[in-house]
Amino acid sequence: MRILVTNDDGIHAEGLRAAEAIARDLAGEDGEVWVVAPHDEQSGASRSLSLSMPIRLHAIAARRFAVRGTPADCVIMAVRHLMTEPPDLILSGVNRGQNLADDITYSGTIAAAMEGAQLGIPAFALSQCYGIERKEAPFEVATHHGAAVIRAVMEACRSTGVLFNINFPDCAPEQVAGISLCRQGKRDINELIVEERIDLRRRPYYWLGFRRGVERPPEDTDLYAITHRLIAVTPLQMNLTHEQVLKTLRRALDPAAGS
């Protein structure tokens, strides 16, 4: 098996090493693991492309490259330029922090997997949840469980154009309560805030961040799964059409629909 590993936390991120370990487990002794990741952190880049500036590529080792660009750039560079044959699987992550509910449209981790799905390649976005009281994410949870979960999903479903968002809970590997096949949740509170600070030259600068509160998510959601020490597995699609609203609009606004 030929596997491409990428992320949005950058080529030196600890989570990338976790994803590589998962990829080596899946690929086996005769497989290939390619790493093509951003040179710098690209968290929140979503599916942006570098269209107004050149992309710089730096070879670090055999099948290992750093890209001055976004996670989506990395997948395109790998599949369209670096690899003589497309990968059998793309792993994006392991992200340092959760990608749940409303988070996914901001996420560069999700975006890299989206790019793979767009190309017809099975793709998984992997994220390790952890609480604010921790200094580091417990990547050993993803490393311990990741390969088995991915194998199970791939054996059960080979649909094209689908990517799988997997979040690992904040606990010890042996404390994981199981796997939840769940839908994307919706946060009760997810306020994007702007914090103003002053630099040493007395000029203002700003940090964006989120203010989140206590949530009571439905049991079939990714948010519920993570709070109950379950590995959350959510299939995502590229088509964002809201089918029910489309039907409502057609009935109300399309004369032909009512005839």
For residue 135, the model assigns a pLDDT of 82
Per-residue pLDDT reduced to its tens digit, 77-112: 999 999 999 999 999 999 999 999 999 999 999 999
For residue 188, the model assigns a pLDDT of 81
Which DSSP string do the residues of 72-121 spell out, in sequence order? HHHHHHIIIII-SS--SEEEEEEEES---GGGGGT-HHHHHHHHHHHTT-
Neighbouring CB atoms inside 10 A of 64's CB total: 16
Mean pLDDT by 10 residues, the chain (259 residues): 98 98 97 97 93 96 98 98 97 97 95 96 97 89 98 92 96 98 88 91 92 81 97 96 94 75
Per-residue pLDDT reduced to its tens digit, 135-173: 889 999 999 999 999 999 999 998 888 999 999 999 999
Tokens of 160: 């094209």
For residue 61, the model assigns a pLDDT of 97
Neighbouring CB atoms inside 10 A of 235's CB total: 15
Give the 3-state secondary structure of 147-161: HHHHHHHHHHCCCCC
For residue 257, the model assigns a pLDDT of 64
- Conformational region of residue 114, where left means phi above 0, alpha means psi within -120 to 50, and beta covers everything else: alpha
For residue 258, the model assigns a pLDDT of 54
For residue 214, the model assigns a pLDDT of 62
Cα separations (Å) of 178 from 174, 195, 226, 236? 10, 38, 10, 20
Q: Give the Cα-Cα-Cα angle 132, 113, 101 (nearest 5 degrees).
A: 45
Determine the Cα–Cα distance for residues 189 and 53; give it in Å rounded to an integer: 36
**Cα–Cα nearest to 103, from 228, 214, 209:** 209
**Cα–Cα nearest to 95, from 50, 142, 154:** 142
Instruction: Please state the domain extents for the chain.
Output: 2-185+217-258
Instruction: Kindly compute the dihedral angle of the four CA atoms of residues 32, 33, 38, 43, in this order, to the nearest 10 degrees.
Output: 140
Identify whether the C-beta of residue 72 lies closer than 8 Å to the C-beta of residue 48.
yes
CATH superfamily, domain 2-185+217-258, is Survival protein SurE-like phosphatase/nucleotidase (3.40.1210.10)
Identify whether the C-beta of residue 34 lies closer than 8 Å to the C-beta of residue 3.
yes
Q: Kind and range of the H or E element at 21?
A: helix 14-27
